[in-house]
Amino acid sequence: MRPRRTAGNWPATEAEAVAEQNRLRERADTAGPGPAPGEVPTIAGVDVAYDEATGRLAAAAVVLDAETLEPLDEATATGHAAFPYVPGLLAFRELPPVLDALERLSEPPALVVCDGYGLAHPRRLGLAAHLGVLTGIPSFGVAKTPFGFAFAPPGPERGASSPLLDGEEEVGRALRTREGVKPVFVSVGHGIGLDHAVAHTLRLTPRYRLPETTRRADSLCRRTLAAALGDTAPV
């Protein structure tokens, strides 16, 4: 994992954060192809849970065996939100604890799946792209909503997909992971192409709409936050 910015020198204002995104997006490798299913031993999911009343948050990183999807490792980090909620700048709120959690794993995963966006972002640097650039780990995002981008509904069968568009530019894909349920929205982050990101997403969704990486990281960060809120000691 490459050295990263510490919490002390993250952008403090919206203008600084936008400038940082504009600087880093040139470093994001979104062309791919990157690792295909069967070419990585481990895949991690990351997620963050918040308590809006207190500003407390908890991040989780859960590593799965890429073939069996069995959990191999997990780590968490808790703290307080250091950046306000601003649409399009969520990475500056979530990445510090996510990076802390990733660094607490016994070893870096081969691929990271974020509960969010990568290239599908107004400045083409969503959380998955930002994380990938800072760590050097191939990464992509699987989101629950299209973030305002346009798409035609994919076919009803599992594996059907359609382009997620910003004007004429394809920034991701709407992907049907379960027959008869709403699609998810896959966008590349760094070090992987869209075809492989979609293929990994299908491998990670054998039973449910959302990837197992996301489901397990979401559960762990929620449990960690609940435990932190029940602890009166400072985090």
Residue 65 vs residues 47, 73, 204, 211, 212: alpha-carbon distances, Å:
18, 9, 11, 13, 11
Query: CB under 8 Å to 196, separation ≥6 — which residues?
Result: 32, 33, 34, 35, 36, 37
For residues 203-214, average pLDDT: 97
Looking at residue 230, its pLDDT comes to: 87
pLDDT at position 75 is: 98
Q: Provide the pLDDT for residue 158.
A: 97
Report the pLDDT value the prediction gives residue 6, as an integer from 0 to 100.
Answer: 44
Q: What is the pLDDT of residues 36-82, one digit of tens each?
A: 999 999 999 999 999 988 989 999 999 999 999 999 999 999 999 88
Cis before 33 (ω within 30): yes
Burial class (CB in 10 A: 0-12, 13-18, 19+), 131: buried
- Condensed to tens digits (0 to 9), the pLDDT of residues 23-38 reads 999 999 998 899 999 9
Mean pLDDT of the chain: 92
Residue range 7-21: mean pLDDT, rounded: 84
Q: What is the pLDDT of residue 10?
A: 86
Q: Is the pLDDT of residue 234 over 50?
A: no
Judge whether residue 7 has pLDDT over 80. Answer: no
Q: What is the mean pLDDT of residues 18-26?
A: 93
Confidence of residue 3 (pLDDT cuts 50, 70, 90): very low
Least confident residue range of 3-12, 100-109, 146-155:
3-12
Structure tokens at 195: 């075809």
pLDDT at 58: 97
pLDDT in tens, 163-193: 999 999 999 999 999 998 999 999 999 999 9
Span 99-133, pLDDT tens digits? 999 999 999 999 999 999 999 999 999 999 999 99
Task: Specify burial of residue 29 (Cβ count, 10 A radius: 0-12, 13-18, 19+).
Answer: middle
Q: 187, 163 in Cβ contact below 8 A?
A: no
DSSP the chain: ------GGGS--SHHHHHHHHHHHGGG---S---PPTTS-SEEEEEEEEEETTTTEEEEEEEEEETTT--EEEEEEEEEE--S---TT-THHHHHHHHHHHHHTSSS--S-EEESS-SSSSTTS--HHHHHHHHH---EEEEESS-TT-B-PPPPSSTT-EEEEEETTEEEEEEE--STTS--EEEEEEES--HHHHHHHHHHT-SSSSS-HHHHHHHHHHHHHHHHHHT--S--
Distance CA 182, CA 201 (A): 14
Q: Is the pLDDT of residue 17 over 50?
A: yes
